[in-house]
Structure 1
Amino acid sequence: MKTINLNLKNAINTEVFDRYQSRISKIHDAIYSKSVVERDWLGWLDLPTKLNNDEYKSMQELAKKWKNMRVETVVVIGVGGSYLGAAAGYEWLYATPSIKKPDIELIFSGNNVSAETLVSQLNCVENKHFAINVISKSGKTLETAIAFREFRKLLETKVGAAKAKELIAVTTDAKNGILYEMAKTRGYTRFIIPDDVGGRFSVLSPVGLFPFMCAGLNTENLLKGAQDALREYAHPSLKNNDAYAYALARYILSKREFSLELLISYEPKMRLFQEWWKQLFAESEGKNGRGLFPASSQFSTDLHSLGQFIQDGARILFETTLFAKKPVQDLTLLTDSQNEDKIAYLDGKSLHKVNWAIFEASLQAHHESSNIPNIVIEFEKMDEYNLGYLFQFFMLALTMSAYLLGVNPFNQPAVGVYKANMAKTLSKI
């Protein structure tokens, strides 16, 4: 049985796929033979199967040590790819309110420069036993550096510099960088971001795995999901490779003048996964005047705000819906004989089935009434296995999609423009 079900019937006619198969196969062979120009950035491709066992064990041991030390909160400091994957996985399993509680609470900081946010987060942990995991390959990222300094100083004030080093873990480059030097000088535990893995592809490296271990996610199941995705999509045949079929569908729709892909979910616990997806596709494809704009939406909530535009506005977008077939927990709606609220037709019904009905209704309205292409990706349930599978699915799909567009999936040259301007502006403060 397939882990996901990719439904393209309301998006494109897949009979056109045959004319692209040769091109897909050539790109696939170039990726897997590492003959593409960007071969030095393909480390993520088989990362789930080649993790360093010693480092994996070291991460497990430190997570267990912190738990035994009764650490209440781990402050995960990073921005972009250094935190989005970990934040997505944490919300996926432990979003409040949830029946499942983490071993250790995670707080994500250093992803903006809001004074109010940082002060609130510092106040939140001031009277807690907390630890820090700071994540940055270079150590130069401004948001991360500011937050790390403030939390590190607070921790040292609370427990002393000697004790603080037991409660700080640095995830950074293997040989260079500001954080590498700090960890070496101060004696912090250090985990390695592989040289051949870029930030937005790093969720299955120590960047994501160590925070997951601290929270208590089953990382073996997570990696098993990613490994299964790698195995299932090892052949380029579009009849069997849903990752490439999704990539090609996006490409074909972009050629039909659609400029925006709206990733929709019907579960609030998927919100940060959608944010991870947005960075993955935006930074990888948005180059040389090309690429779809990746946006996200939460239904049914946004049907009451964006629904009008989607249904009747400018024809600039197509939809991709992520839907979990089985809920982690469900609710059977209560009955009310008086029926004052006029919803007796829902008495005794599963709330998840109500959610599904809304999905089908919106799909019908948007596609049949407004001719909006709709891609649907269904998976079994929101657990670690499916999370790992979807991480790998989208990274594989993105890479194929970018090469179809003719852009480098692994760089982000335009980001340097704002950073240079920021440096000039900050020097004038």
Structure 2
Amino acid sequence: MSFYLLCKVLFSRKVVTTLLLLQLAMTLALLLNSVLLARQTQQQLNQPTGLDLDNILLVQLKPTSAPLRVYPALEDLLNRQLTAVQAIPGVIAAAYSNQSVILQGGNNGNVYVLEQQERTNVATVPMYFVSKDFFSVLDSQLLQGELPQHSVSLDAPGSPDVVLTRSLADKLFADTPAVGQQINRGRVAAVIADFYGQRSGDHIMYNSMQVAPPYGVDWGYSILLRTAPEHTETVRQQLAGALQKVESNIEIFHIRSLAEQHQRLYRNEYGLAMLLTILSMLMLLVTMVSSYSSTHFHALKRQQEIGIKRALGASKGLILLELLGENWLCTALGSMLGVALALLLNQALAQVISIPALNWYFPIVTIAVLLLCVTVATWYPAAIATRVSPATATKAL
């Protein structure tokens, strides 16, 4: 079987071959990027968060009355709301926070060790102003120091003590104990185990907390509750009523578990991965149908040629290999074009969403899958063509 003759036969039908090449290239580009995106989304959804996602409930709300949004009326409202939700059977702990955990972005700023800003500055770290039970809600493991037990007003002299997550403490102080050190947000009082803060931060596990009421909540605030597993849904159903009973002048944006919050955080990637996967499967199906039709049509047109080859001693296996070889060559050429197209699509998607760059082995695996599908699609018409009788094929000569 000559490579030159395969190319000559393939490019003798220019229009059909060109369309097949474009179809194969687009199929490969979509398939590659959908697999990449689906794989990344799955990894992100399965990454450790340091949180009991199923049994921590999040309430996002905001007072509709302006005086209730600022200190000191806000602090009184927060304390009354916490007392009410803690009284619900099944609630283990409850706390307020100026913002939720597991967010895309939010209230954040830089953190650095005093007098070492150039060396230690971390540009984007979430700033949490929380009640003292925030750490009980998250069931945080205390690694260093002592957790603050009293809420300190933000307008009091000096800054409230700071609690850092382990990853951030390691980043700032390396092997040096963090407790007692001074950072730009205050004195470090404790270090706790990591938990997922903000996706857009320098690192999802970098978090800084101060036990203090927020100054104002024009954009709303969060109440977090840890519940007993068997009471989670029951507590969820009672939350809105309990909060409205405490103060009717509030707007509750949503009540959801942190598991739902986590899913929503990656819903764009998940949705796009599903869309690309469906499109890829449809394109793959269309490519298989096109390959089948093209092979069947051209095998019929070449019956006499195949019959003569059989009469001259060509075996059925050789004829089958020749017909499959044409499709394999077309698939190989289309795949080369497809890899280039996949790189362009990958760069375009990277401008809109987070998607990993193409690596060396993904294209190889995807090309192998595409080659297998094309082989399956063209096997039957190619096998039928080998059954042409030399006598029948040469009658018209």
TM class by shorter-chain length? under 0.3
Q: RCO higher in 1 or 2 (8 Å CA, sep ≥ 6)?
A: 2
Normalising to structure 1: TM-score of the pair?
Answer: 0.19
Flag the structure with larger Rg: 2
TM-score by length of 2: 0.20
